[in-house]
Amino acid sequence: MAVVRPFKGVRPNPALADKVAALPYDVMNTEEAREMAKGNPYSFLHVSRSEIDLDENTNPYDEVVYIKAAENLKNMMAEGVLIQDEIPKYYIYRQIMDGRSQTGLVACSSIDEYLDDTIKKHEFTRPEKEVDRINHFDYCNANTEPVFFAYRAKEEINEIINKWVNDHKPVYDFTSDDGISHILWVMDDVEKIAELENLFKKVDYLYIADGHHRTASAVKIGLKRREENPNYKGDEEFNFLMTVIFPDEELMIMDYNRVVKDLNGNTLEEFLKKVEKAFTIEEWKGNEAYSPEGRHTFGMFVEDQWYKLTAKPEIINEEDFVERLDVSILQKNLLNPILGIENPRTDKRIDFVGGIRGLKELERRTKKDMKIAFSLYPPSMAELFAIADIGEVMPPKSTWFEPKLRSGLFIHLLG
């Protein structure tokens, strides 16, 4: 069963929602955050990237930054920029990008279900990357940003959510600067909340789609609060973390592409000869960049020429859920043996470009600071679920989800 619990959300005054809403903290650096929030005292970046309100030389991981975040959150609530609902509620969050919509339920999930693997993972987390959000959540005493969950769609759940959306007026409805629509409904009917909560108990698993480090950080803060409160009962807010849970049928994984610094000492002719041992190579004659048409096809851009690569059947292991992924095939048969990228997590010669940036960005990078680029066909939600179900993890930088959840539209206080 999946625990999906309503909560007393902290959210913007409706008149200020579009000014409060901000991109997630981890898609920008400090300078970019400072520029984004310039002239906007309501931006949630004053909480999620509070170093922007301190001296420019401040270390963004210094304790003073987390103290400032807590202070800014408290002030935004005191000034009515943010308000808290008096009773536990669900929130329905719809995003529309390029005509495609995804509608998720904003709720709280159990930290125990993360620990017992009812909440499935598909990535490793690195403890050093968790520390920042652990401190941030701790000082703010809140889950200040949600994590992005998915589940196998259930018709009964869809019906309730869709009926609520059709029958009620949203409390927020605005379009952000990047053209994405953000619409939020508040579900405050106690009977409907109970019905939805019970239906989720029939859902076997929830899956982390995006935000593994944030999820791990939220769980660790919950465990820290338990240590601080040894007589806890289990229903305290710190036992839960804030999530937005989407049905899989509405989600789309975008490509996550690669650029590499050099040809690892090979001439182009030598490199292509090595590549053709595992892939068929075709010069792409189209006017546009080559975007892979299906699984096991790849685009390659080097020296102002696009190529189409097709993995040869003998290198594909369709029986292994991880090995058959295109990111695995590329890594095992080209990036590692030919270009010398043994560990893509740590090697400074490789970088990753989310599909939202487009294939022109790959061309730009090869002309600026890289030598060669690869475009990939994205994995499916079914592949993500299958790997998570058997307790395996996907290779690093396998999935890119768009649109990103906006921060500041809902916050979960831990006590």
Which pLDDT score is estimated for 128?
Answer: 84
Predicted pLDDT at 224:
98
Helix axes 127-140, 212-228, angle to 10 degrees: 50
Domain 256-377: which CATH number of 3.30.160, 3.30.1760, 3.40.5, 3.30.70: 3.30.1760
Buried b (16+ CB within 10 A) or exposed e, 34-47: bebbeeeebbbbbb
Look at residue 241 in the predicted model and tell me its pLDDT: 98
C-alpha closest to that of 374 among 239, 242, 263:
263
- Strand partners for 102: 95
pTM score, two decimals? 0.93
Tell me what percent of the chain is helix, strand and coil, each rounded to the nearest 5.
35, 25, 40
Which string of DSSP letters, residue by residue, matches 111-177?
A: HHHHHTTSEE--S---HHHHHHHHHHHHHHTEE-S-EEEEE---HHHHHHHHHHHHHS--SEEEE-T
Which residues touch 105 (CB under 8 Å, ≥6 apart)? 4, 90, 91, 92, 93, 161, 196, 244, 245
pLDDT along the chain (415 residues), means of 10: 96 98 94 96 98 96 98 98 98 97 98 97 89 97 97 97 98 96 98 98 96 96 98 98 98 96 98 98 91 97 97 97 97 98 95 94 97 97 97 94 96 97
Question: In this structure, what is the dihedral angle of CA atoms 336, 337, 338, 339, given to the nearest 10 degrees?
Answer: 30
Cis bond upstream, residue 337 (ω within 30) = no
Question: What are the extents of the domains in the chain?
Answer: 10-252+402-413, 256-377
pLDDT in the model for residue 238:
98
Count the alpha carbons within 13 Å of 184 in the hemisphere toward its beta carbon: 27
Partners of residue 336 on adjacent β-strands: none
* pLDDT given for residue 286 in this prediction: 78
Neighbouring-strand partners of residue 373: 259, 301
The Cα 384–Cα 152 span in angstroms is 12
Tell me what pLDDT residue 127 has. Answer: 86
Helices 63-78 and 127-140 pack at an angle, to 10 degrees, of 40
Question: Token pair of 157, please?
Answer: 């759940």
In the chain, the amino acid numbered 236 is E
- Per-residue pLDDT of 50-105, as tens digits, reads 999 999 999 999 999 999 999 999 999 999 999 999 999 999 999 999 999 999 99
CB under 8 Å to 351, separation ≥6 — which residues?
258, 259, 260, 365, 370
Q: Which two tokens stand for residue 236?
A: 């305290």
> What is the bridge-based pairing of β-strands 279-283 and 305-311?
antiparallel
Question: Under a CB-based contact definition with an 8 Å cutoff, are residues 88 and 161 in contact?
Answer: no
**The two structure tokens encoding residue 379:** 């994995």
Residue 302 to residue 260: CA distance in whole angstroms: 10
Strand partners for 307 = 283, 300
> How long, in residues, is the chain?
415
CA-wise closest residue to 407 among 56, 76, 4: 76
